[in-house]
Amino acid sequence: MKYWQEFIKGVWKRNPQLVVGLGFCPTLAVSTSVSNALWMTIAATGVLIGSNALISLIRRIVPSHLRIPIFITIIASFVTMTDLFLGAFQPEVYKSLGIFIPLIVVNCIILGRAEEFAQKNGVLVSILDGFGMGLGFGLTIFVLAVVRESLGANRLFGYVLIPGMEPAGAMALAPGAFFTLAFMLWAMRSINARKKGR
Amino acid sequence: MEIGVYISILIGTIFINNYVLSRILGLCPFLGVSSKLDSALGMGLAVIFVMTLTSFITYPIYKFVLIPFRITYLMTIVFILVIASLVQLVEMVIEKFSPALYQALGIFLPLITTNCAVLGVAVLNITSGFADPQSHMGLLKSVVQGFGGGVGFTLALLIMAGIRERLDLADVPENLKGAPITFIIAGLLALAFFGFSGMKF
C-alpha cells in the first residue's frame, strides 16, 4: 500500500508541473504533437527512473557538500544514453525533439526528485517514485499536446480531424502553449480549491 | 568583415527567435523572478553575463577538444559541468573583487545553473553549425548569439516584470493568481512578438 502511494502521488496529488510547478520548458516546447509528447515522456521517465535508482543506491557514500555536482553528472550520463538511443532507433523523433533532449539535464523535476526523494529513500521506492513522477509529467504534456495538435494542426496522432478546416496556427506555436498551460493550471487549482472547501 | 551577419544574429536572437517567448527556454526564472522590476533587472544582467561567457568558453571546448578526440557525444555532460563550474567561479570572483555587484547579482547566480536558456545557447551554438569547419569566425558568432540571447531574455523578463507590478492593483480571480495569469500574459506577449517574425535582412 505504501509503495502504491509513492507511485501514484506523482500523477495527480503531487503532479510535477500543475501542483509543484517544475519542468515547464520541456512541457511547453515539445507539446506540439502527441507523438513528440509521448517520446519526451519516455525519454524523461527513463532518465528519472535511472537517476533515482542510482542516486538512491549511492546515497550513503555521497558527501553532502558534493552531492549536487555528482547528481548532475549522473543525470547527464543518463541523458547522454537516452540521446544516443533515440538518435539510433528513432531518428525522426530525435530530429523533431532537437535540443530538448540534451536539455532534459536541466529539467528541474529530475534534480528535484533526486534532492527531495532519492537521496533519502530506498532503491525500490525511489524507482516507483521516479516512474510515477514521469507518468504525471507525461500526463500533463499529453493533455497539452492533444489540445494543441487538434487546434493548431487540425490533426490528432497524425490523422486529419476535420478535412478542409484551416487550423489556428498560433496554437501550434509559443502563444498556444502558454494559453493552454495557463488554463490547465487554472482548472487544477479550481478543482483542488473546491475539494478543500468541501 | 560582414558586419550584417552579426547584426542579423543579434536581431534574430533578441526579437524574432526570442529565447523565452518564441523558443520557450528559461521559463523557471521567467516565472520566479518577474514579480519586481529591480530583481528582474539584476537577474537579466546576470544572465546576459553568464550566457556570453558560456558561449565564449563552450565553443572552443567543442571545437578543439571534443571534435579532435571524437567524443562529441559527451557534449551534454561536458557543457553542464562547464556551466556549473563557470557560474561558481564567476560568483567567487565577483564576491572577491566587487562586493557592490555581488550584492546586486549574488543571489541570482546560483539559480542560473539550472536555467535551461544557458545550456540551450551552448547547444544551439553547436547545432547552428558555428563549429563546422567551413564556418568563419564561429567564436564571434557564438558570442554574439549568446549575448543576444541574454538580451532577449532580459527584455522579456523586464516587460513581464513591468506588467506584473501593475497587475498587483488589478482584481485577478483567486485561482488565476500567480503562475496561471503570468502564463496568459506570456501568451499575449508571445503573440505580440509574432509581429517581428516578418522582419527580414
* Helices B138-167 and B116-127, packing angle to 10 deg: 150
Task: Give Cα A169 distance to the centre of its chain.
Answer: 24
Strand-pairing partners, residue B78, are none
Average the pLDDT over A82-90 and give the result.
Answer: 93
B6 to chain A, minimum CA–CA distance in Å?
23
Minimal-distance CA residue of chain B relative to A81: B73
CA–CA gap between residue A180 and residue B180 (Å, rounded):
10
User: Which member of A102, A178, A182 has the closest CB to residue B76?
Assistant: A102
Q: Is the pLDDT of residue B104 over 80?
A: no
| B111 at A interface, C-beta within 8 A | no
Nearest to A179 among B81, B84, B187 (CB): B187
Q: What CA–CA distances, in Å, run from B132 to A176, B64, B137, B144, B147? A: 35, 12, 11, 17, 21
Burial B39-55 (b: 16+ CB within 10 A, else e): bbbbbbbbbbbbbbbbb
- Cβ neighbours of B179 in A, within 8 Å: 21, 182, 185
For residue A188, what pLDDT is reported? 92
Count of the separate structural domains present in chain A: 1
Quick check: A24 and B31 CB within 8 A?
yes
- Global pTM reads 0.90
Give pLDDT tens digits for A151-195. 988 888 878 888 888 888 888 889 999 999 999 999 999 998 898
- Model confidence pLDDT, tens digit, residues A49-84: 999 999 999 999 998 888 888 999 999 999 999 999
- H helices, E strands: number in chain B: 9, 0
Q: Given A25, A77, A193, which is nearest B77 (Cβ)?
A: A77
Specify the amino acid at residue A25.
C
Residue A44 contacts residue A137 (beta carbons within 8 Å): yes
For residue B178, pLDDT over 70 is answered with yes
Interface touch B80/A105, C-beta < 8 Å: yes
Q: What is the tens place of the pLDDT at every residue in A8-39?
A: 888 888 898 888 888 888 899 899 889 999 99
Other C-beta atoms closer than 10 Å to the C-beta of A49 total 19
Number of CB pairs, chain A paired with chain B, less than 8 A apart: 112
Q: Which of A17, A25, A184 to mutate to test the interface with B (most CBs of B within 10 A)?
A: A25
In angstroms, what separates the C-alpha of A18 from chain B's closest C-alpha? 10
Numbers of helices and strands, H then E, in chain A: 9, 2
pLDDT band at residue A85, thresholds of 50, 70 and 90? very high
Residues of A with CB below 8 A from B27's CB? 24-25, 28
Cβ contact, residue pair A69, B194, below 8 Å? no
Q: Do B183 and A181 touch (CB under 8 A)?
A: yes
Residue A106 domain boundaries: 2-197
| B190 shares contact with chain A (CB less than 8 Å) | yes
Name every residue whose Cβ is closer than 8 Å to that of residue A82 and which is 6 or more positions away in sequence: A43, A46, A47, A101, A104
Per the prediction, chain B carries an average pLDDT of: 88
Collect all residues of chain B within an 8 Å Cβ-Cβ radius of residue A83. Answer: 73, 76
The one-letter amino acid code at B81 reads L
Mean per-residue pLDDT, B23-44: 86
ipTM for the complex? 0.89
Does the CB of B119 have a partner CB in chain A at under 8 Å? yes
Q: Which residues contact A191 (CB under 8 A, 6 or more apart)?
A: none
Query: In this structure, which long-range contacts are made by residues B67-76, counting pairs with CB atoms below 8 Å and at least 24 apart in sequence?
Result: B67/B131, B73/A80, B73/A83, B73/A84, B74/A80, B75/A102, B75/B123, B75/B126, B76/A76, B76/A79, B76/A80, B76/A83, B76/A102, B76/A105, B76/B123
